[in-house]
């Protein structure tokens, strides 16, 4: 473990599922969609998310201990202002730069000094370059730096992300845990075993009892699992279990996507994942094809809550099928 000592609510709805599928060219997708074709059509998901981020309102939700959540551009961003400067968890999408900057200015006049990436995906790191230029030292797991500094393929999106500019690459990386003491708060950074990706970390604001879990939790949404960079359904379940064990009844939990939540939401997410994984694993063991399994609707009892956007039950069944 490395310790660093550094000196001194209204949310705009995301893209509708209809808009998303139209943008992705998937409005007529069949039930036999394979995981590698999830978001095909020349990287359409990336382009669509950029367009959405360019127009999105950034909602600011105060939490506790001076921490606020910024929502509306890619993954949820946490911000802790103070005498050591603003500390951000995740960077959003750069197309929202002006609105994110305005939201940050509205919180305090403190300069931006630190940025923590919860994992490497572009909707959490695309703002790295401009935030670094604004003064942020970037901290992340070592696998985040590995993926960002080379061209990295996400088969599920049918998109290859080019290497990022030098200023967007994390300057400080760690392998397991990291502790930061900033703005009278202790931040505990903890790497998960491969889950959503192989680079996921949580960020605990220990004194405020606020936990940012990145994309190991999609609150009210089926999660994307990036098999291309180490993710798996079982790893996602293990991360959900770790999150449940890490929180108490009063912990405020910031998911990667979806509204701010708590322990009960994490438990519901874990239970959904386990039930669907077990159903699909049992069918696959019987020798059923993906088409047959999707036709059996193993996610049906969960679709009303979890399957609206961006991943519906059929697509999530394909993701789980790939990993059991």
- What's the gap between Cα 67 and its chain centre? 18
Check whether 199 has a pLDDT greater than 70. Answer: yes
In a domain, 182, yes or no: yes
> Residue 180 sits in which domain range?
2-218+225-260
In a domain, 169, yes or no: yes
In a domain, 316, yes or no: no
In a domain, 298, yes or no: no
User: What separation in angstroms does the CA of 82 have from each of 89, 137, 266?
Assistant: 15, 16, 30
Number of C-beta neighbours around residue 291 at 10 A: 13
- Backbone phi, then psi, for 149, in 5-degree steps? -90, 0
In a domain, 44, yes or no: yes
Which CATH number characterizes residue 100's domain?
Answer: 3.60.15.10
Q: What mean pLDDT is predicted for residues 99-117?
A: 98
Check whether 105 has a pLDDT greater than 50. Answer: yes
Number of C-beta neighbours around residue 170 at 10 A: 23
Please give the tally of structural domains in the chain.
Answer: 1
Q: What mean pLDDT is predicted for residues 289-307?
A: 96
In a domain, 121, yes or no: yes
User: Does the predicted model carry a pTM greater than 0.75?
Assistant: yes
pLDDT per residue as tens digits for the range 10-38: 233 344 444 333 232 222 222 233 344 44
In a domain, 116, yes or no: yes
In a domain, 36, yes or no: yes
44 pLDDT tier (thresholds 50, 70, 90)? confident
In three-state form (DSSP H/G/I as H, E/B as E, the rest C), the secondary structure along 5-51 is ECCCCCCCCCCCHHHHHHHHCCCCCCCCCCHHHCCCCCCHHHHHHHH
């Amino acid at each position: 473990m490395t310790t660093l000592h550094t000196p001194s609510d209204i949310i705009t709805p995301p893209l509708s599922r209809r808009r998303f599928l139209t943008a992705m060219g998937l409005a007529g997708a069949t039930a036999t969609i394979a995981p590698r074709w999830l978001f095909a059509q020349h990287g359409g998901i990336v382009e669509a998310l950029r367009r959405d981020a360019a127009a999105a309102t950034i909602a600011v939700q105060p939490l506790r201990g001076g921490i606020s959540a910024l929502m509306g551009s890619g993954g949820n961003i946490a911000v802790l202002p103070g005498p050591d400067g603003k500390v951000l968890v995740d960077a959003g999408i750069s197309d929202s730069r002006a609105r994110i900057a305005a939201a940050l200015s509205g919180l305090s006049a403190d300069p931006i000094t630190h940025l923590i990436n919860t994992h490497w995906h572009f909707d959490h790191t695309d703002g790295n370059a401009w935030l670094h230029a604004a003064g942020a030292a970037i901290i992340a797991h070592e696998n985040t730096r590995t993926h960002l500094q080379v061209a990295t393929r996400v088969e599920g999106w049918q998109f290859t992300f080019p290497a990022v500019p030098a200023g967007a690459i994390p300057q400080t990386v760690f392998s397991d845990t990291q502790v930061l003491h900033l703005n009278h708060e202790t931040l505990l950074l903890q790497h998960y075993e491969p889950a959503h990706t192989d680079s996921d970390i949580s960020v605990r604001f220990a004194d405020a009892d606020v936990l940012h879990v990145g994309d190991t939790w999609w609150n009210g949404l089926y999660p994307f699992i990036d098999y291309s960079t180490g993710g798996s359904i079982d790893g996602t379940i293990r991360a959900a279990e770790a999150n449940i064990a890490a929180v108490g009844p009063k912990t405020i939990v910031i998911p990667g996507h979806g509204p701010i939540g708590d322990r009960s939401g994490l438990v519901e997410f874990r239970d959904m994942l386990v039930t669907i994984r077990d159903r699909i694993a049992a069918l696959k063991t019987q020798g059923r094809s993906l088409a047959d399994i999707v036709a059996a609707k193993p996610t049906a009892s969960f679709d009303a809550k979890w399957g609206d956007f961006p991943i519906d039950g059929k697509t999530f069944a394909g993701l789980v099928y790939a990993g059991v």
